[in-house]
């Protein structure tokens, strides 16, 4: 089984992926932010490094998907390949931070990859307000995220909302995280787990 956690920057994807991995015994696959050679440069000079960063993420995510398919294990994935292609890259293009030429090249490559991509059995979308995202980003204190603007987060949020409303590739569970503390409150984590159990049981 393949479960994926989606959501804006600071929504809590990595934290929830770790907690669910521990609870269910699923193998976690995380987004590569530690060894990503482009992130620092991108947040300092978005227009120059946007295409490089998106290609890096596309490569990394596609590799993950092939590994997931080949292992046959129960996997939980932190962020999906769809978020790169339907949210982050189009947002950079719309903001004038990725050229038409680069966006066309990127989109063509994704379309080729998508033919071989199996969507997750269950997609969990962590919905969060902008103030909550900003609070979480400041709390975790990643230096390269200090330059992220409210406008950038807001644009991503709009695209996440539109994408989640039109998502038809598989089962979708939307979790509003503004008033949930699944890190320090076991009851809140339990609420999410109960919702996931209901969705998983419906898969079989």
Using alpha carbons, select from 168, 1, 4 the residue that is nearest to residue 80: 4
Q: How far apart are alpha carbons 102 and 167 in whole angstroms?
A: 25
Q: What does the pLDDT read at residue 34?
A: 67
Q: What does the pLDDT read at residue 91?
A: 96
pLDDT in tens, the chain (204 residues): 999 999 999 999 999 999 999 999 999 998 766 678 998 898 889 999 999 999 999 999 999 899 888 888 999 999 999 999 999 999 999 999 999 999 999 999 999 999 989 899 999 999 999 999 988 888 876 776 777 788 989 999 999 999 999 999 999 999 999 999 998 899 999 999 999 999 988 765
Residue 70 burial (10 A CB sphere; 0-12, 13-18, 19+): exposed
Q: How far apart are alpha carbons 182 and 13 in whole angstroms?
A: 11
Catalytic residues: 78
Side by side, the strands of the sheet bearing 2-7 are 27-29, 75-78, 2-7, 122-127, 171-176
Reported pTM: 0.91
* All domains of the chain in start order, with CATH: 2-201 (3.40.50.300)
């Amino acid at each position: 089984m393949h479960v994926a956690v989606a959501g804006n920057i600071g929504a809590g994807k990595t934290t929830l992926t770790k907690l669910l991995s521990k609870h269910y015994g699923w193998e976690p696959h995380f987004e590569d932010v530690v060894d990503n050679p482009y992130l620092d440069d991108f947040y300092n000079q978005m227009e120059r490094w946007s295409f490089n960063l998106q290609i890096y993420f596309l490569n990394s995510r596609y590799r993950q998907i092939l590994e997931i398919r080949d292992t046959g294990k129960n996997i939980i994935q932190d962020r999906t390949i769809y978020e790169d292609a339907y949210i982050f890259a189009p947002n950079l293009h719309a903001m004038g931070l990725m050229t038409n030429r680069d966006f066309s090249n990127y989109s063509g490559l994704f379309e080729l990859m998508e033919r071989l991509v199996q969507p997750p059995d269950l997609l969990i979308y962590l919905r969060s307000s902008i103030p909550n995202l900003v609070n979480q980003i400041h709390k975790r204190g990643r230096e390269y995220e200090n330059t992220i603007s409210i406008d950038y987060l807001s644009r991503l949020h709009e695209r996440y909302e539109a994408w989640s409303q039109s998502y038809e590739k598989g089962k979708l569970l939307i979790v509003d995280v503004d008033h949930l503390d699944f890190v320090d409150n076991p009851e809140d984590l339990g609420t999410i787990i109960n919702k996931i159990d209901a969705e998983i049981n419906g898969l079989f």
